[in-house]
Amino acid sequence: MIEIGTKDFTVDVPKKRISIKTIGQTKYVYYVMEYYKNKNGYYTNRSISIGKLDEKNPAQFFPNDNYFKYFDVTPPKTLFPTRFMHAGHTVFLANRLQQLDVAPILFTLFPESYTKILQVAIYMMCNGNVMLYMDDFYTKHLNPYKEIIGQRHLSELYEEITKEKRWAFFKEWKNQVVSSDEYIAYDVTSISTYAKDIPFAERGYNRDHELLPQVNVGLFFSQHQKLPVCYELYNGSLTDQTFLPTMMTFAKAFDIQPFLYVMDKGFLNTKNIQYLTEEEIPFLLSAPSHQKVYQEALLAARKEIRQMNNYIDFAGVFGVKTTVTIDQEDYTLFCYFDSEKAKTQERTLFEQIKEREEQLAKQLQCKKRRKKEPYFKVELEDEKMIRFSRNNEAIEEALALTGMFGLLSNQPEIAPAEALSIYRRRNAIESHYDNMKNFLDFDRLHTHRQQTTEGKFFVGFIAQILQADLLRVMNALPKKTVPTIKSLLLELEKIQCVQYEKEWKLMAPITKKQKDILALFDISPETMMEQIIKSANKNSP
């Protein structure tokens, strides 16, 4: 039970027979009941506290029970709370969607249903991709939007999100996150499904080596803003290399023209390099050291790379650049040597050779199919192995390559240190995929038809923007206020509001830790309180 009269109710300070007394840091209002002379003959008075002065408005005070006893005023009735809601985390996420301009863009494209999309995206941030519990969630947690959608109507919402509208969103969103000097990372992951009515879900091994129907997701990621830009879902059987030209066509359609596209070696083949060159698309790709053209260049660079002028301080590696020719076109190959990695790879190489040598020794005089042995020479007679010996030349070459790695580009003006710094930032997209699958639970689709799959993943993309936004702000700080996104949301979830009849109020003041979290995102406690009460009153029947 909470008495509004003693906590939130203020009245004017009476004009007569009043004194103000300060006790500690608090000022109290006293009512003088009578005046009299004390035994020394001095006038004094007998007074009683009738409340606490309002520091913000000294002409008013918060009355206590004595005020209503001595003044002809009817006390406010005691109100009982009728409803409690967790509110801080959902209102905070709605605030971020507004500040990122996600909400305004969605409003222009989905004027009738944009708040429903935002509502579902916020639920995904709090509870993941399984929608079974959304109705229950919003009975206990404040929905920041007046329009409420039940989980039974989610399929209808997903079907409204057509490809045309998704692309329109990407074009507008791109303007918020991509600049002309931008580095864009591109990568692919797969999402598995048990559904049978999704045509582009095709059987294949996912990244966890499970043989299931899967859908591929190709995604562009801003390395400056550390936010996802756009994505495309496509057939699960298509390889990363095969689909790259199609994704680059999408990028042109969205008018994404970065300074550089950054990709791993899974996209590197002669055909793709030729395509990127012909289309004048700037790229930086990890080069596979086992391919002859890169292997020869790395071995040549190894001879003189360990010089003081080639040392890259921030990375602790040596780096140089050279030129390689592929299909009569010259490209820049950035060559690097990492001494720590060399020690690890050298030890691993020796262990592999020793293990294989022991295996071959056991197979002497046994039938053996012809198979390429990278570090051994094997002699067969009548399909039996009669002897083997180490291939010292191959071993020496492998030793020379330990610690060496390369990056291929068609931008020769970039320095080795800059190229390495740019490439290492692409780790953000791998982290993004990891969070998408684990934090947002998008390792499975949990849908049954293609249209709903595409619509649901778009809503999930809005949640991905939120997740990436929180992560970039938290990671930019030298000392973290909270260690994880989960702990941040759990802390803000503690901010509750309570309803008395038709009026909503905060259950308790915002704590210092909660204020510190809000300050990271330039949200004042007053703004948060105002938005919570406004959202709660808006949703009240």
491-529 confidence digits (pLDDT tens): 999 999 998 877 888 988 999 999 999 999 999 999 999
pLDDT, tens only, 17-74 = 999 999 988 999 999 999 888 888 888 889 999 999 998 889 999 999 899 888 888 8
* Percentage of the chain lying above the pLDDT 90 cut: 73
CA–CA separation, 354 vs 504, rounded Å?
73
3-state secondary structure of 197: strand
The pLDDT assigned to 7 comes to 54
- How many whole angstroms separate alpha carbon 329 and alpha carbon 316? 32
- Which residue(s) pair with 286 in the sheet? 407
pLDDT classification of 197: cutoffs 50, 70, 90: confident
Question: How far is 103 from 121, CA to CA, in rounded Å?
Answer: 11
Q: What is the pTM for the complete model shown?
A: 0.83
Phi, psi of 71, deg, nearest 5: -120, 150
Query: Using an 8 Å Cβ cutoff, are 165 and 109 in contact?
Result: yes
- Crossing angle for the helix pair 240-253 and 270-278, nearest 10 degrees? 10
Q: Encode pLDDT of 439-486 as tens digits.
A: 999 999 888 899 999 999 999 999 999 999 999 999 988 777 888 999
CB atoms within 10 A of CB 92: 25
Distance CA 281, CA 294 (A): 21
**The residue type at 134:** M
Q: Look at residue 3 in the predicted model and tell me its pLDDT.
A: 40
- 144 half-sphere exposure, CB direction, 13 A CA radius: 27
What's residue 8's pLDDT?
A: 63
